[in-house]
Amino acid sequence: MGNCAILRSNSQDTQSSFSITTSSSSHCERAKKLRETKMGNLSCCVKVDQSTVAMKERFGKFEDVLEPGCHCMPWFLGSSVAGSLSLRLQQLDVRCETKTKDNVFVNVVASVQYRALANKANDAFYKLTNTRSQIQAYVFDVIRASVPKLNLDAAFEQKNEIAKAVEDELEKAMSAYGYEIVQTLIVDIEPDERVKRAMNEINAAARLRLAANEKAEAEKIVQIKRAEGDAESKFLSGLGIARQRQAIVDGLRDSVLGFSGNVPGTSAKDVLDMVLITQYFDTMKEIGAASKSTAVFIPHGPGAVNDIAAQVRDGLLQANPPQ
């Protein structure tokens, strides 16, 4: 064995040290771990970091799982550390392109959170060559089997069901290799940009149509209310005109009765003609006083007063027949 213990690499975790070293560690850190390993083997002691386990082998055969802490490693008896395995929670983001039932291509982004089980650490270390690729293959398989059964809108609505199907399949497959699937999330469903624009245009058109309907209903209500108000206004105006004419008739009747009673020998017709002539001259006076009057009497002349009086009298008598 020499003065150095045998180290074997694992593609999931960097195996150049007993302490945890992820695939993103820098070259300097790996070199430092390697120096610590050599020094530990020379002194027959090795260190395992927290949340990490190490694989102990004797002459290349698995012997034990080393927990965090300091362990005796008699290299001269064939003992060595094959590598380490992290027990921390890890996350893998998978982007899968597939199509929906209505033939829309979408990119489904899934996040898988997983970790190695401490009681099955040897299975997780020795049975799988590339854990992330294995998980990615299962995610692709489940998503491409589930999403094509759904329309685009249903795919957005059933994200949780898709995530549950992926998680169940991964849990069933990865538990045999010493891994636990903590949670699976469908974090995004991205259709093509042109599909997004079309969906937005459809939504905008639907909202514009709804707005037009609401506007038409509002205008309809305004027209109805305006018509109701106009009808009510004309009704009240008619009542006012009727009352005005009734008051005029009542006033003329009282005047005729009073004048006939005070002047013997006069008839009601004579009194009414005199009142109408008086009102005629009052009207002419008001027209002459106005600078921009547009009222015109046709025919006009003193001889037409009798005709006007007869017409007014006839109109009043026809409007108010004797009781």
pTM: 0.52
Bridge-partner residues for 105, per DSSP?
99
| Per-residue pLDDT tens digits for 240-257 | 888 887 887 777 777 777
- Reduced to 3 states (helix: H, G, I; strand: E, B; else coil), residue 73 is coil
pLDDT at 8: 33
More confident residue, 304 or 212: 212
Query: What's the pLDDT at 309?
Result: 64
pLDDT at res. 1: 35
More confident residue, 85 or 23: 85
For the stretch 129-168, what's the b/e string if a residue is b when 16 or more beta carbons lie within 10 angstroms of its beta carbon?
eebbebbbebbbebbeebbeebebeebeebbeebbebbbe
Comparing 293 with 246, the larger pLDDT belongs to 246
Q: Order the strands of the 79-86 sheet from edge to edge.
A: 61-66, 52-58, 79-86
Both 127 and 103 in one domain: the answer is: yes
Does residue 212 sit in the same domain as residue 252?
Answer: yes
Return the pLDDT at 114.
93
Mean of pLDDT over the chain? 77
Q: Answer with the residue of higher pLDDT: 32 or 237.
A: 237
196: phi > 0 → left, psi -120 to 50 → alpha, else beta; which?
alpha
For residues 154 and 136, membership in a common domain is answered with yes
Token duo for residue 46: 């090795």
Among residues 210, 230, 260, the one where a domain terminates is 260
Q: What is the CA radius of gyration of the chain?
A: 53
- Yes or no: say if 68 and 46 are a contact pair by the CB < 8 Å rule: no
What's residue 17's pLDDT? 35
Tens digits of residue pLDDT in 109-159:
999 999 999 888 988 899 888 889 989 999 999 999 999 999 888 888 899
pLDDT at res. 47: 86
Q: Which residue type does 122 have? A: N
pLDDT at residue 94, as a whole number: 93
Task: Examine the fold and report which residue of 41, 60, 86 is the final residue of a domain before the chain moves on.
Answer: 86
pLDDT-derived band at 293, boundaries 50, 70, 90: low
Q: What is the pLDDT of residue 45?
A: 83
Together in a domain, 127 and 100 = yes
**Which of 86, 119, 152 is where one domain is finished?**
86
Distance CA 158, CA 235 (A): 63
Residue 100 domain boundaries: 90-191
> Total structural domains in the chain?
4
Q: Which two tokens stand for residue 316?
A: 């009043």
Q: What is the DSSP string of 2-51?
A: TTS------SSS--SSSS---TT--HHHHHHHHHHHHHHHHTTEEEE-TT
Rounded to whole angstroms, the Cα distance separating 4 from 76 reads 10
- What value does the mean pLDDT take over residues 299-323? 59
User: 96 to each of 142, 143, 166, 187, 196, how far by Cα in Å?
Assistant: 10, 8, 12, 12, 18
User: Is residue 11 domain-shared with residue 72, that is, in the same domain?
Assistant: yes
Higher pLDDT, 260 or 173: 173
In this structure, of 62-66, 249-253, 292-296, the range with the lowest mean pLDDT score is 292-296
Average the pLDDT over each of 106-120, 233-247, 260-274, 289-303 and give the range with the smallest value: 289-303
8 plus 57 within the same structural domain? yes
What is the tens place of the pLDDT at every residue in 75-116?
888 888 888 899 999 999 999 999 899 888 899 999 999 999
- Do 180 and 199 belong together in one domain? no
- 317 and 244 in one domain? no
Tell me which amino acid residue 218 is: A
Q: Within this chain, do residues 175 and 107 fall inside the same structural domain, yes or no? A: yes
286 vs 183 pLDDT, higher one: 183
Q: Are both 182 and 122 inside the same structural domain?
A: yes
> Does one domain contain both 112 and 186?
yes
- Kindly state whether residues 66 and 113 are assigned to the same domain: no
Q: What is the pLDDT of residue 73?
A: 82
